[in-house]
Amino acid sequence: MSNLKLAVEVVSAHNLMLRHGQSTTSAYVEFLFDRQRARTSTKARDVNHVWNETIFFDVSDPNRLRDLVVEANVFHNGNANSTTFLGKVCLPGTSFVPYSDAHVSLYSLKKRGVFSFSRVRGELALKAYLANPNQSQPSVNHEAKSESHEPPKVAPKNSGSSSRPSDYLLKESSPYLGGGQVVRGRFVRGDSPVISTHELVETMHYLFVRVVKALDLSCRDAYVEVKVGNCKGITRSLEKKQNPEWNEVFAFLKENLHSSVLDVVVKDNELVNDDFVGSVQFALDEVQTRVPVAPERHQLVDKDGKKKKKGELMLAVWYGTQADEAFPNAWYSDIILPDDMSSAAYTHVRSKVYDSPRLWYVRVKVIEARDLVVPDTSRIPDAYASIQIGHQCLKTREVQSLNPMWNEELMFVTAEPFDDQHLIVSVEDHVCPDKEETLGRVSIALNSVKRCGESADDDQIICGQWFNLDMSLSNAMEKDRDHKFSRRIHLHVCLDGGYHLLDDSSNYCNDLQRPVGVLELGVLNAKDLMPMKTETGKATTDSYCVAKFGDKWVRTRTITNSPSPKYSEQYTWEVYDPVSILTVGVFDNRQIGNSSGKKDKEIGKVRIRISTLESDRVYTHCYPLLSLSPSGVKKTGELHLAIRFSCISLANLMLIYFQPVSVKVQPGTLRDQAVLVVADRLAQVEPPLGKEVVEYMYSDAADVHVWSLRRSKANFFRMMGVLSWFISVLKWFDEVCAWRSSIITVLVHVLFVMLVCTPELILSTVFLYMFLTGISNLRYRPRHPLHVDTRLSHADAAHPDELDEEFDTFPTSQNDEIMKMRYDRLRSIAGRIQTVVGDVATMGERIQEFLISWRDPRATFIFITFCLFVAILLFVTPLKVVVIVGGFYLMRHPRLRRRKQMPSILANFYRRLPEKSECIF
């Protein structure tokens, strides 16, 4: 016997099927290899089982190793030693490699057979490798014994060796929110529940102070300081005003109030030593808890508590929650900012709701130009037209003529309002490769351009117009200029609103139909956020969240200097199309503190497809924030969200699935321009939403078209997953033909005869089977939204060089040696693809080109003779008899087959047909 051994390391199992209504399983794994049987220990009452046990099998004949299979069966150990099958995994002998090349892989559990009635789900993490006793191997002390059922002795290993850490998975929670505790997607309300407009977030109580204005002050540079215990807020300073108006709101978190008195002090900014002007004091136990509270006038008092003759302060004080209307515009006491921070910087920490601007197309048809004049009269210009709107610039082709004709239509993207936006058209002469001369310009104000296509049925025709060209842009922008003789250009310009201009992928669009539901999002909190910057020698994170759905953007307030911020903010959208995606991103605010003025840094984002959510179910999950870099997958924190989709009309919701996404969709090249336009507009709002934030929210891995070996592997295995059902059916049919189970084979024979005798039942049987399968899957439907899958993305096992190549610039910035290695690798992969494509083409060519073309006269003669024989046979024999005989022949018992499984006569004939590959160099 050989000294070679096969080692199988059982790491863990995830998401196993639960049995008999239990919330846990007691699982163990049983292995079968070359008539050797072994099993792991039983992990009792667990959800995600971790074994980290290694089992050794003897390899009797290394030459037969590639033909052997390791079968791993997962069982649930129930009461009275009863077992329940949970799934199996088969490892082919071709996957066994030396220990140095082995790695942990995650395998999906399969059924015993295609038509097995058992329900399975989950994944099993295994690592298989060949072990030689003469070489150093990891220390284990168990070997499998033939037909042994004893649990093995195990050697513990590091549990972090799993290729898919549990930190990368979604985690469902049961938090206490405004509507009660969430248990399995439903609110469990108390005996006397408090009705809250913000059910999806934890209710946070605030003390609100609205400072409206002051009257008849004795100073002219006043500001107000609001103080409760250690919490303090300051209004902006208004110079040279005896009756200043601030109209600012301060929100103090009730749990942080360590005082029983609220002090509102008016101070003079001009005084240094004693800047006190007057104050108003409130007892917190007397503050009302109702909304809204009308502002009232309060007489200022001096330091001794006596009322002053002059000076009043108008303000309102009340207790409320984050559902209060004043909450979005308030200064939050839980945000700690530097004392020297200007009041303008406070706007960067507020929450805000943004609306994307309405986008329009600018259609410009450049027809011709007349009477062009060039400085050098001895040459004819190579003229082209250049059109520019903001940062967008397009050009026509070059035409060599003094009266060039182009007849080209160019399209641009712009947004309302059109004030101060101009369409600049210039005619240029391409003198030489490095020299361009301007032959004339014209500027057209967009607010003067006619609009067409306000609706999809609007086919209004806009007539062309001649425009005079000026040599300078300033002259071109002057109106009512007298042109005695001028160069001219003929243009058709219009603003087109008939298209549905998409600034995002069609999967993310929401405003295409009438509303069919309501989407509610509760941004609860974040955990373990990665430090994004260093201030005063300390790593900090000032985080905020941005959510986008359709044309509505929302931004939470910034929680400063906290790796686990608590937002508790709720937002609502109308849903027009359920087949759309909600995007929630987490960012580090770099507009405050020492890093003021820098671009905000992304931490991570979450995408949730609305159509995957059940109606009226509350989804409370912790989403891992993952980022992919040349160093691999990195977790940057967790985001805790509460989501609920409520359906308004079920009938309209169902009809959406049968309607097109939009009547007209713009060319894909304009989407990037639309994103830049939206980013420019949102960057001008107060507080601004940075361009880097908008571009990151729009970015999608599906839109990346640069070569990536990792992404190619992921797509290949996705395709194999789609074909796995067909392959499983073939394997099952092969088992039927081999009579592995006589009962199943006999039942298949009976079903086959029934369907042949009554062919009208075939389609109905197929659809009925799919209906029953769908009904049976209803019980096991997914209970959590889709999220980034590191295993499906092949990101957790990607080679560092593959990731470095994926994140390389285009064109590349690597040296020649690395590029040579990558090019050779790409040639190798492309060569295998080329071979597969050639084999597929050969299979089709043998039938299409050579079967009846007499290229091979003997083969063609054999085929047409066979066709004549089959035609006569089918004419004299009932079709049902032919089909039944053919089916029984395919499923005949192995004893009626030849001992050696040789290819069939038809396969031999097919493989001998010629192919066109012989005609290729």
Grouping H, G, I as helix, E, B as strand and the rest as coil, residue 573 is: strand
Regarding predicted confidence, which is higher, 666 or 315?
315
- Mean pLDDT over 641-663 rounds to 83
- Nearest Cα to 649, choosing from 778, 518, 550? 518
* DSSP 3-state percent helix, strand, coil across the chain (nearest 5): 25, 35, 40
Regarding predicted confidence, which is higher, 466 or 23?
466
Average pLDDT, the chain: 82
- Mean pLDDT over 570-599 rounds to 86
Q: Are strands 359-370 and 352-355 parallel, antiparallel or unpaired?
A: unpaired
AA letter at 238: L
Peptide bond into 381 cis (omega under 30): no
Q: Are strands 451-452 and 487-496 parallel, antiparallel or unpaired?
A: parallel
Residues 6+ apart with CB under 8 A from 334: 253, 256, 559
pLDDT per position as a tens digit, 792-814:
888 888 888 888 888 888 888 88
Of 128-142, 355-369, 601-615, 821-835, the least confident: 128-142
Q: Using an 8 Å Cβ cutoff, are 334 and 213 in contact?
A: no
Is residue 845 predicted with pLDDT exceeding 80? yes
- Mean pLDDT over 271-283 rounds to 81
Is residue 346 predicted with pLDDT exceeding 90? no
The residue with tokens 């329900």 is 119
3-state secondary structure 314-352: EEEEEEEECCCCCCCCEEECCCCCCCCCCHHHHHHHCCE
- Mean pLDDT over 546-566 rounds to 91
Q: How far is CA 790 from the centre of its chain?
A: 12
Is residue 851 predicted with pLDDT exceeding 60? yes
Q: How far apart are the first and last CA of the chain?
A: 50
- Region label for 633, one of left (φ > 0), alpha (ψ between -120 and 50) or beta (otherwise): beta
Instruction: Say how many CA atoms lie within 13 Å of 237 toward its Cβ.
Output: 13
What is the rounded CA–CA span in Å between residue 843 and residue 244? 87
**What pLDDT sits at residue 140?**
40
pLDDT per position as a tens digit, 477-511:
565 555 555 789 999 999 887 555 566 665 556 65
Residues 6+ apart with CB under 8 A from 229: 256, 257, 258, 259
Q: State the DSSP string of 417-442.
A: --TT-EEEEEEEEEEETTEEEEEEEE
Q: What are phi and psi of 734, to 5 degrees?
A: -65, -40
Is residue 699 predicted with pLDDT exceeding 50? yes
Regarding predicted confidence, which is higher, 454 or 564?
564
pLDDT per position as a tens digit, 120-134:
888 888 988 887 755
What's the angle, vertex CA 38, arms to CA 37 and CA 40, rounded to 5? 155
Q: Using an 8 Å Cβ cutoff, are 561 and 589 in contact?
A: no
Radius of gyration of the chain (CA): 37
What is the rounded CA–CA span in Å between residue 475 and residue 465? 19
Is residue 772 predicted with pLDDT exceeding 80? yes
Is residue 233 predicted with pLDDT exceeding 50? yes
Q: Are strands 231-234 and 221-228 parallel, antiparallel or unpaired?
A: antiparallel
Grouping H, G, I as helix, E, B as strand and the rest as coil, residue 176 is: strand
AA letter at 203: T
Is residue 158 predicted with pLDDT exceeding 60? no
What is the rounded CA–CA span in Å between residue 441 and residue 426? 4
pLDDT per position as a tens digit, 324-336:
888 888 888 767 6
**What pLDDT sits at residue 499?**
58
pLDDT per position as a tens digit, 2-54:
678 889 999 888 888 776 556 678 889 999 988 888 999 888 877 678 888 99
Of 37-41, 90-94, 189-193, 583-587, the least confident: 189-193
pLDDT per position as a tens digit, 857-893:
888 889 899 899 989 988 898 888 988 998 898 888 8
Of 133-137, 362-366, 487-491, 781-785, the least confident: 133-137
- Mean pLDDT over 517-540 rounds to 89
If pLDDT is split at 50, 70 and 90, which confidence band does 666 have? low
Question: Would you state the structure tokens that stand for residue 497, as one six-digit string?
Answer: 């609103």
Regarding predicted confidence, which is higher, 474 or 520?
520
Q: Alpha helices, DSSP H only, in 647-741?
A: 650-656, 671-682, 691-698, 709-737
Q: How far is CA 424 from the centre of its chain?
A: 38
Of 112-121, 148-157, 438-447, the least confident: 148-157
If pLDDT is split at 50, 70 and 90, which confidence band does 152 have? very low
Q: Which helix (H) or strand (E) holds 548?
A: strand 543-549
Q: Which helix (H) or strand (E) holds 227?
A: strand 221-228
Q: Using an 8 Å Cβ cutoff, are 260 and 283 in contact?
A: yes
Q: Using an 8 Å Cβ cutoff, are 507 and 579 in contact?
A: yes
- Mean pLDDT over 355-375 rounds to 90
pLDDT per position as a tens digit, 167-212:
788 888 999 888 888 888 888 876 555 566 788 999 888 899 999 9
What's the angle, vertex CA 892, arms to CA 889 and CA 895, rounded to 5? 135
DSSP state of 470: B
Is residue 585 predicted with pLDDT exceeding 80? yes
Whole-model pTM? 0.74
What is the rounded CA–CA span in Å between residue 367 and residue 869? 69
DSSP state of 821: H
**What pLDDT sits at residue 159?**
36
Question: Would you state the structure tokens that stand for residue 370, as one six-digit string?
Answer: 């007349």
Q: Which helix (H) or strand (E) holds 741?
A: none
| Domains of the chain (ranges, CATH numbers) | 5-131 (2.60.40.150), 205-348 (2.60.40.150), 359-453+461-472+485-499 (2.60.40.150), 517-703 (2.60.40.150), 724-919 (no CATH)
**What pLDDT sits at residue 337?**
63
- Mean pLDDT over 699-706 rounds to 73
- Mean pLDDT over 582-604 rounds to 86
Q: Which sign, positive or negative, has the C-alpha torsion 389, 394, 396, 398?
A: positive
Is residue 544 predicted with pLDDT exceeding 90? yes
Partners of 319 in the β-ladder: 207
Regarding predicted confidence, which is higher, 892 or 619?
619
What is the rounded CA–CA span in Å between residue 678 and residue 689? 10
Of 268-272, 365-369, 708-712, the least confident: 268-272
Q: Using an 8 Å Cβ cutoff, are 161 and 129 in contact?
A: no
Q: Which helix (H) or strand (E) holds 837?
A: helix 816-848
**What pLDDT sits at residue 668?**
56
Peptide bond into 193 cis (omega under 30): no
- Mean pLDDT over 695-710 rounds to 81
Partners of 31 in the β-ladder: 38, 72
Instruction: Say how many CA atoms lie within 13 Å of 617 toward its Cβ.
Output: 15
Q: How far is CA 193 from the centre of its chain?
A: 36
**What pLDDT sits at residue 456?**
45
Q: Which helix (H) or strand (E) holds 604?
A: strand 601-609
Is residue 780 predicted with pLDDT exceeding 60? yes
What is the rounded CA–CA span in Å between residue 786 and residue 612? 8
Please report, for residues 231, 278, 407, 669, the alpha-carbon distance to residue 226 in angstroms, rounded to integers and kept in the order given: 8, 12, 67, 53
Residues 6+ apart with CB under 8 A from 418: 445, 446, 447, 449, 495
**What pLDDT sits at residue 601?**
92
What is the rounded CA–CA span in Å between residue 127 and residue 420? 65
